Structure 1
Amino acid sequence: MKPLAQWPVDSRRAIRGVFTDIDDTLTHDGHIAPEALQALGDLKVAGLTVIPITGRPIGWCEPFMAGTNGPSWPVDAMVAENGAVAFVPGAANAVTSQIGLQRPSDMREVLSKRYQQSAEVRTANRQRMDAIAAQVCAEVPGMELSRDSAGRETDLAFDYAEFAHHSPETVQRVLALLQSHGMQTTVSSIHIHGCFGDFNKWTGACWIVRELLGRDLSTELDQWVFVGDSGNDQAMFEHFRHSAGVANIARFVPQLSHLPTYLTPSARGAGFAEVARAILEARSFA
């Protein structure tokens, strides 16, 4: 990883879109840092496309998109559950999707919800996941589903570092159990995830760019940057030629096979704000 200051001005000036992780990249203890919220707004005012992408559940994302618990985040979409589902501003009849569009009942005029799996597949997977969750909690002492699980629709998440404190050995035991059932797994800064389907943040990012913008992300990576901090961001670090880790990624570095290109001086939301500032300052040199 190189210091963020070494990101060339010409590369920064070319950026037209920003993907970002949420937990411990924009937030600390579940709350967005004021400087990160301001940075999101500054990027949007400058005309960039801004899309948070997270392992958090779609239900957890809803208040941030709708502004029900404070100001709505100034973003173009929010992708949840490691790429399986997303909220997009606008009524459902204003957008089209071939992948099963569903609207939240209390937000018909505000947001539309998009999935990568059909309703039938999601229902069948939910039954399998409920049984697997019960097995994991029974066989791994002290392991519990994440407290945000009520809002999850397409995956399982177990808390190892948000409210609980489990050892790396315990994390590996849970991963092995999930994988024994054929689940795809990832580990974020706080949760262990398992799902049925080929979902990760990279495939989710490609999907939402097609759905939202009608474009192929893989052909325009010189115009995008990703900012993240942990294991479930690795697919993004692998594919994005412009990527930045906020400083708190340091604790995960020994476990990562793919690292970001650049490292911010500051942690969490302050680090994200540094990336935004680097992009916007480069435009002033044009």
Structure 2
Amino acid sequence: MKSLHERPAGTFADVRFVLTDMDETLTHKGRLGAATYRALEELQHAGIRVIPVTAAPAGWCDQMARMWPVDGVIGENGGFFFRREGLHELARSFWHGDYAGTVMQQLRDKAETVLRRLPGTRLADDQPFRLASIAFARDGNSRQERKVADALREQGLDVAINNLWILGWLGGYDKLAAARKMLEDEYGVDDNAADEIVAYSGDSLNDGPMFTRYRHTAGVSTIRECLDALPKPPAWITDGPGGAGFVEFAEAILADRRQTINTA
């Protein structure tokens, strides 16, 4: 992993899709800065498709897909893809298809089991806005958080812990599986073609599969906190945390694209 500013000129010249984590990658301390929003818009204006890939709930993702300068949102760690369609409509596709509602009821039942077994555990405040996962609040007690994660796994759930939630879902997918499906289904980009044209930015363990698969990856500066636990680090690291780091990544991609256009 090297500083993003050490990259050779033209490294990102062929990038056409920017996939990115949201919490503490686009945001910083829970807020989306104006410069980050502007960077998303500039990427779109340059003809680059921008797609957040996040563990955030469907309610948040609905708003992002409708109003942000993005081409769509993969949410709840891969449970669905939302994209704007027309002026006010939203196209929604779920990993579980027509069975999404049935799966969500199973998840609620399993969450109740965890709550009964582990007194003091609580669901995340955003749980009412979820359609494909259950999320438990993190309380800073690592021992208790491990118990919650173990209890979810014992019930057959996939589990991830990020900087906000302990997440559980059914289906065996992750951010990478959902990204591959979205690229193929929505844009006709197969996995081999993605090598040169897809870039990804993130900040946590939950981004590990993306860092492992894609060539053009950047971790914002706080990725250092979990490097030892990642199977593979991102190729590059930014100077700034959160949204400031994403802006660095976006500017590097845009600079390489402009250079290519100017020399064509």
Whether the TM-score (by the shorter chain) exceeds 0.5 is: yes
2: distance between equivalents of 1:35 and 1:141? 42
Q: Read off the aligned partner of 2:20 and give its amino acid letter.
A: T
Q: Read off the aligned partner of 1:192 and give its amino acid letter.
A: I
2: distance between equivalents of 1:45 and 1:246? 23
- Structure 1 gaps of 5+ residues are 67-71, 92-106
Deviation, structure 1 residue 123: 3.0
2: distance between equivalents of 1:24 and 1:79? 16
- Structure 2 gaps of 5+ residues are none
Secondary structure of 2:167's counterpart equals strand
Aligned to 1:43: 43
Deviation, structure 1 residue 90: 0.6
2: distance between equivalents of 1:220 and 1:257? 20
Deviation, structure 1 residue 284: 3.2
Deviation, structure 1 residue 3: 0.8
The question of whether the paired residues in 1 share the 8 Å contact of 2:64 and 2:70 is answered with no
User: Percent sequence identity over matched residues?
Assistant: 32
2: distance between equivalents of 1:196 and 1:44? 33
Q: What CA deviation, in whole Å up to 9, does each residue of 1:128-160 have, x standing for no partner?
A: 211221122233343211111111111111111
Shift of the 57–47 alpha-carbon distance from structure 1 to 2, 3 Å rule, reads same
Q: What is the number of residues matched between the two proteins? A: 260
1: distance between equivalents of 2:116 and 2:174? 27
Secondary structure of 1:234's counterpart equals helix
1: distance between equivalents of 2:208 and 2:226? 11
Deviates more, 1:173-182 or 1:122-131: 122-131
Q: Read off the aligned partner of 2:225 and give its amino acid letter.
A: R
Deviation, structure 1 residue 41: 0.5
Q: What CA deviation, in whole Å up to 9, does each residue of 1:242-267 have, x standing for no partner?
A: 10000112222233223211110000
Matches within 5 A, 1:200-211: 200-211=174-185
Shift of the 263–119 alpha-carbon distance from structure 1 to 2, 3 Å rule, reads same
2: distance between equivalents of 1:200 and 1:261? 20
Aligned partner (choices 128, 136, 141) of residue 167 of structure 1:
141
Q: What TM-score does the superposition give when structure 1 sets the normalisation length?
A: 0.86
Deviates more, 1:274-283 or 1:136-145: 136-145
Aligned to 1:140: 118
2: distance between equivalents of 1:256 and 1:167? 22
CA RMSD of aligned residues (A): 1.6
Aligned to 2:132: 154
The question of whether the paired residues in 1 share the 8 Å contact of 2:64 and 2:73 is answered with no
Aligned to 1:113: 92
